[in-house]
Amino acid sequence: VSNNTNSIVVVPGANAKLSCDVLNKYKSELLKCKIICSQLEISTDTVLHLSRLCKENGIIFVFNPSPVVKYNKEIFNNANYVIVNETEIQQIEGYNSKNPDEILKTYANKLILTKGSDGVYFNNGEKLVHVPALKVITVDTTGAGDTFMGAFAVGLSNGRSTEQSIIFANICAGLKVTKLGAQTGMPTINEVKTYITKI
């Protein structure tokens, strides 16, 4: 945590070794999945390969282009859902800072914009939808995006709609920022259920 926000250093480690060959080796396991999420903390070639695997086999692919690096647009096209923050959305072709909501309309029911304390925005094909952020005391925002994406996938896997899954993910991310630690601060399902029963 630095200057009331987060400062993140990526040390790839084993992630740098996650090649297309590794995916191919475990392809049979991947094909058992209903949903697969990916960021760009692994090779963009590997993510492209993964996106193709998902598309070819009807697996829902949730993509978060983070950290911001150049990537093949096919990854974006192959994704069922793309989750971005205010920085990441700017690299999407067609983004216009003078009319930032237009890109959400262009990619309705696909592009999801997280804006921290301003909540989440997406277009449901008919209108722009805003899901307000939780009113909490923020301790550490590190890992909030990871929490959101993971919780969004959990929502979808449990049969929730896109909007319901976003609301669920928004609650999870909101609870995460109240605790220190990118992983240790992530809420358990029981913590989420307890919060929901109180609202």
Where in the sequence numbering do the catalytic residues fall? 146
Nearest CA among 141, 2, 138 for reference residue 85: 141
Please report, in angstroms and rounded to a whole number, the separation of the first and last CA atoms in the chain: 29
β-pair type (120-123, 128-131): antiparallel
Q: Is the dihedral of CA 148, 150, 151, 153 positive or negative?
A: positive
Contact of 182 with 143, CB cutoff 8 Å: yes
∠ CA 157-43-52, rounded to 5°: 50
